[in-house]
Amino acid sequence: MKKKRTQPAHKSYFFEQGYKDIGSAIKTSWLKNAQTAKAYYDKYNEKGLMSLKGVYNLFCALSVVSFGTVFFALISAVMLAIVSTFFILVYIGFSAAWLFDRAYLTKKKIFTACNECKCKSLIPTYICPKCGAHHTNLTPGAYGILKRTCECGKKLPTTFFNGRKRLQAICPNCLLEGKTTYLNDRESRPLCVPVVGGRSVGKTAYITAFSKKFVEFVAPQHNLDIEFYNGAKEAIYSEIKADFAHGSTRMTVRPQDITQSSSISFSFFVKNKALKPERLMHIYDIAGEVFTDNNENEVQRQYEYCQGIIFMIDPFAIPTVRARYENLLTPEDKAGIGKADINGIINVFINKLREVTGLSDRKMSKVPIAVVIGKTDSANLCDEFSDEKIEEIEYLNAKTELQRIDIIDYLCRKFLKENEMESFVNAIEMKFKNNRFFAASAIGHTRDAGAYNPVGVLEPMEWICTKADKRLASLWVKEKYSKKPIKNIIDKLEG
């Protein structure tokens, strides 16, 4: 137990009052004993040694002092022993309950990720439903084993198995209270995936396409129940549905008001009988300018604990690709091209990642990164990753067992390397042990030309899910992602 902050609650009997009670019991009995002895002694003083009564009283005083002392010492010792045993049992009891609760949270990978400040917390700050007091460490302890009594008299559960998660909670870091900022996590297991990349590379379009597909097609097909995190997230989904229907995207702005957060998560629960606890997906959308202008309103702490990252690139931001396809692009597509240099973005991003995760390249290299070449519908770029191309490679490498998705990965790397992006590919391969390349089109066609018709948007998330949450993946992931390092496959293809 780390921070020892006082809680707005009554200490459990065994931690405060218990000790006081034994203390005073012993003290009073000693006092009584002394008083009795003194009374006899006073009587003796009155009578003196010459009278029988006087001798008798002296004898009494002496025996009270000697026998009484022995007697009370014995009684006190026995009492202390009994009470201590009881105390020890209670200590063992609450330690066991604390450990059990902690072990459950850790083993089930439960934590809360604040929507506002992005801070991660294991035990959020819970609010007393009766008086609104903040309980920062609602776990078994000095304030009670399974329940604690709030200052107002309300009994609050302190563990995962007796209803703690049903209490209203707030983030212990930013302490924001309000309808949209209450933590509504209910001790679920989060899956946090930030979608990053430069301005206009298609991050928001990707999130729109994936979310709509997942919520309305994948989930019903695989018996997954979806529930939005709160009203604010439901409102985001309304926008997603509208954009999806019209084939549009909304520009993600970094709010000028710096108290507003730079990244917004679209969050929803995924529920199924086999998922205990329920899962909570957070997909983070962040304004691309954060990577080009290198300023943001809050530190993106989600990089620290996220289970995967989707790195979007706009292929038409690559000079050679743009030059080659320029005349095939529609005016809308041309207008929507991301202008930032991809190598610049990845460097800014890696630095940010290093800042937040506090150093270690080793820790950084563990998080799976899905590099997604987007907008493949434009200028028929999808021909580079077409089924014919895939089959051709399969045919030429009949001896090696290749998965379709592995070949796409190979083709993406090849495409980037052929377009002077070798250093980018190398940076990804060097910094992230777990990397995979994907080709996708979120909208499926030029913007505003009808409803989205997404291609390849599920796969990046599928792959991250396979890496991060096997149980969840087993319920919906179709594609087979070879466990072998992609590097080996590529070497084989190239060798």
Q: What residue ranges bind Zn ion (CB under 5 A)? A: 114, 116-117, 119, 128, 130-131, 133, 150, 152, 154, 171, 173-174
70 binds, among ligand GTP, Mg ion, Zn ion, none (CB under 5 to 8 A by kind): none
Question: What are the backbone angles phi and psi of residue 155, rounded to the nearest 5°?
Answer: -90, 130
Q: Token digits for 129?
A: 């439903």
| Closest by Cα among 195, 455, 421 to 318 | 421
Closest CA to 111 of 124, 126, 122: 122
Q: Which does 154 bind (CB under 5 to 8 A by kind): Mg ion, Zn ion, ligand GTP, none?
A: Zn ion
- Residues lying near ligand GTP in the complex (CB under 6 A) are found at 197, 199-205, 249, 251-252, 287-288, 332-333, 336, 374-375, 377-378, 441-443, 446-447
Give the span between the Cα atoms of 480 and 406, in whole angstroms. 9
Please, which residue, 202 or 460, has the CB nearer to ligand GTP?
Answer: 202
Tokens (6 digits) for 429: 């391969």
- Site size with Mg ion, rule: CB under 5 A: 3
Applying CB under 5 A, among 204, 208, 262, 263 the residue interacting with Mg ion is 204
Q: How far is the CB of 202 from Mg ion (least distance, A)?
A: 8
Q: Look at the alpha carbons of 130, 134, 139, 143 in this order and tell me if their dihedral is positive or negative.
A: negative
Candidates 131-139, 189-197, 244-252, 264-272: pick the segment binding Mg ion (CB under 5 A): 244-252
Nearest CB to Zn ion, comparing residues 10 and 389: 10
Given the complex with ligand GTP, which of 138 and 287 has the nearer CB atom? 287
Contact assessment for residue 368 and residue 434, using Cβ atoms and an 8 Å cutoff: yes
Q: What's the CA gap between 97 and 428, in Å, rounded?
A: 44
CB of 377 to ligand GTP, least distance (A): 5
CB 251 to Mg ion: min, Å: 6
Q: For 289, left (φ over 0), alpha (ψ -120 to 50), or beta?
A: alpha
For residue 411, the minimal CB distance to ligand GTP (Å) is: 18
CB count in 10 Å sphere of residue 473: 16
Strand partners, 372: 312, 438
Residues 6 or more apart whose Cβ sits within 8 Å of residue 419? 315, 318, 320, 321
In the chain, the amino acid numbered 222 is: H
Instruction: Decide whether 128 or 421 has the Cβ nearer to Zn ion.
Output: 128
Distances (CA, A) of 283 to 179, 373, 400: 20, 18, 36
Q: Which does 152 bind (CB under 5 to 8 A by kind): ligand GTP, Zn ion, Mg ion, none?
A: Zn ion
Nearest approach in angstroms of CB 128 to Zn ion is 3
Residue 331 preceded by cis peptide, ω within 30 = no
Shortest Cβ 191–ligand GTP spacing (Å): 21
- Cβ within 8 Å of residue 217, ≥6 positions away: none
**Residue 294 φ then ψ, to 5°:** 55, 40
Exactly one of 7, 159, 252, 466 binds Mg ion (CB under 5 A); which one? Answer: 252
CB 37 within 8 A of CB 68: yes
Q: Which helix (H) or strand (E) covers residue 52, if one does?
A: helix 52-63
Minimum distance between the CB of residue 329 and ligand GTP, rounded to whole angstroms?
A: 9
Listed in sequence order, the residues at least 6 apart from 16 whose beta carbon sits closer than 8 Å to its beta carbon are none
Report, in Å, the least distance between residue 183 CB and Mg ion.
25
Nearer to Zn ion, 39 or 117 (CB): 117
3-state secondary structure of 89: helix
Q: Give the residue with the Cβ less far from Zn ion, 226 or 232.
A: 232
- For the bound state, the minimum distance from the C-beta of residue 277 to Mg ion, rounded and expressed in Å, comes to 31
Q: Least distance from C-beta 348 to ligand GTP, angstroms?
A: 13
- Direct distance between the N- and C-terminal alpha carbons of the chain, in angstroms, rounded to an integer: 55
Question: Measured from the CB of residue 352, what is the shortest distance to ligand GTP in angstroms?
Answer: 15
Give which of Zn ion, Mg ion, ligand GTP, none residue 382 binds (C-beta under 5 to 8 Å, depending on kind): none
CA distances from 250 to 44, 204, 208, 245 (A): 100, 7, 10, 13
Binders of Mg ion in range 352-391 (CB under 5 A): none
**Residue 205 contacts which entry, Mg ion, Zn ion, ligand GTP, none (Cβ below 5-8 A, type-dependent):** ligand GTP
Q: Which residue is nearest to ligand GTP (CB)?
A: 288
- Residue 308's nearest CA partner among 233, 196, 386, 429 is 196
From the list 80-88, 104-112, 151-159, 248-256, the region that binds Mg ion by CB under 5 A is: 248-256
Beta bridge partners of residue 311, listed in sequence order? 196, 371
199 contact, one of Mg ion, ligand GTP, Zn ion, none, CB 5-8 Å limit per kind: ligand GTP
Residue 374 contacts which entry, Zn ion, ligand GTP, Mg ion, none (Cβ below 5-8 A, type-dependent): ligand GTP
Contact 303, 357 (CB under 8 A): yes
Q: Which is nearer to ligand GTP, 181 or 249 (CB)?
A: 249
- 114 vs 286, beta carbon nearer Zn ion: 114
**Between residues 184 and 441, which has the closer beta carbon with respect to ligand GTP?**
441
279: partner contacted, choices ligand GTP, Zn ion, Mg ion, none (Cβ within 5-8 A by kind): none
Residues at the site binding Mg ion, with contacts judged by CB under 5 A = 203-204, 252
